[in-house]
Copies of this chain bind each other. A is one copy, B any other.
Amino acid sequence: MVVEPTAAPETPPELTALPEAEPKPRDILIINYSGELEKVWATMLLASTAGAMGMTCRVFVTFWGLQNFVKDERRITGKNWMQKMLSFMSRPGISHRKLSKMNFLGMGPWMMGTLAKKYNNPSPKELLEVAQSMGVVFIPCQMTLEMFGLTRDDLIDGMAEPVGAATVLGLMSEGSAPLFI
């Protein structure tokens, strides 16, 4: 079939533009599940760097991860004896994290901290403050708050409203690049 030149309409601009369109940069979504020192460090390093790069970065904080976001000065948290015992057995607060191995009664974390300082690498706590000031959003998990008997007042300032797994899955489905740490 021969197409008559006069009959050929101009292709609308939004259609010609399409093939060359850059894909939209993806947001970063970190699920901070672990409460171990090295995993918290990874979370905070990635989050603060993403913030500094101007990326949209959200950190969903759940299970052991939520212990990193309890205020350092809190010692025993929870409403019933089981929740209190869990907080007693594993002291909450970002400054009291332990390594997953080679903890050696705190010598491992102390050496890590010393080496980090020596090479001008900030601590997890400093990185958390940088991340927050750069607009990274830290979101507590509603179910974890309930299970551990934590109140919003137990948590550090500046955290977002608690949400559940559905919100996290929605972000993944819409294109956020996820990391489970």
Contacts and interface: CB of A to CB of B under 8 A. Distances in A.
Interface of A: 1, 3-12, 14-15, 18-19, 23, 25-26, 28, 31, 33, 38-39, 41-42, 45-46, 49-50, 53, 55, 62-64, 82-83, 85-86, 89-90, 101-102, 104, 108, 111-112, 114-116, 119, 121, 143, 146-148, 164-166, 168-170, 172-181
A83 B108 CA distance: 11
A26 B172 contact: yes
Contact of A82 (B7, B115, B168, B174): B115
A178 B175 contact: no
Contacts of A176: 177
A3 B11 contact: no
Nearest to A48: B165
